[in-house]
A and B are shown apart, each in its own frame.
Chain A
Amino acid sequence: DTGVSQNPRHKITKRGQNVTFRCDPISEHNRLYWYRQTLGQGPEFLTYFQNEAQLEKSRLLSDRFSAERPKGSFSTLEIQRTEQGDSAMYLCASSPIRGGAAKNIQYFGAGTRLSVL
Chain B
Amino acid sequence: GQQLNQSPQSMFIQEGEDVSMNCTSSSIFNTWLWYKQDPGEGPVLLIALYKAGELTSNGRLTAQFGITRKDSFLNISASIPSDVGIYFCAGQSGTSYGKLTFGQGTILTVHP
Asked whether A and B interact, the reply is yes
Tell me whether A45 and B101 are in contact in the complex, defined as CB-CB below 8 angstroms, given that A107-B45, A108-B44, A110-B41 are known contacts.
Answer: yes
Q: A75-116: which have CB < 8 Å to B? A: 91, 93, 95, 101, 103-111, 113
Q: B76-105: which have CB < 8 Å to A? A: 88, 90, 92, 96-105
Residue of B nearest to A111 (CB): B42
Which residues does chain A contribute within 8 Å of B105, judged by CB atoms?
40-42
Do B101 and A113 touch across chains, with their CB atoms under 8 A apart?
no
Do B50 and A56 touch across chains, with their CB atoms under 8 A apart?
no
Do B98 and A106 touch across chains, with their CB atoms under 8 A apart?
yes
Task: For the complex, give the distance between the alpha carbons of A107 and B42 in Å.
Answer: 9
Task: For the complex, give the distance between the alpha carbons of A80 and B46 in Å.
Answer: 35
Do B42 and A48 touch across chains, with their CB atoms under 8 A apart?
no
Residue of B nearest to A41 (CB): B104
Tell me whether A105 and B1 are in contact in the complex, defined as CB-CB below 8 angstroms, given that A43-B102, A45-B99, A48-B98 are known contacts.
Answer: no
With A33-B99, A42-B104, A45-B99 already in contact, 20 other A-B pairs whose C-beta atoms are closer than 8 Å: A4-B42, A41-B3, A41-B104, A42-B3, A42-B103, A43-B88, A44-B102, A45-B1, A48-B99, A56-B96, A58-B1, A93-B100, A103-B98, A104-B98, A106-B33, A106-B100, A108-B35, A110-B41, A111-B41, A111-B42
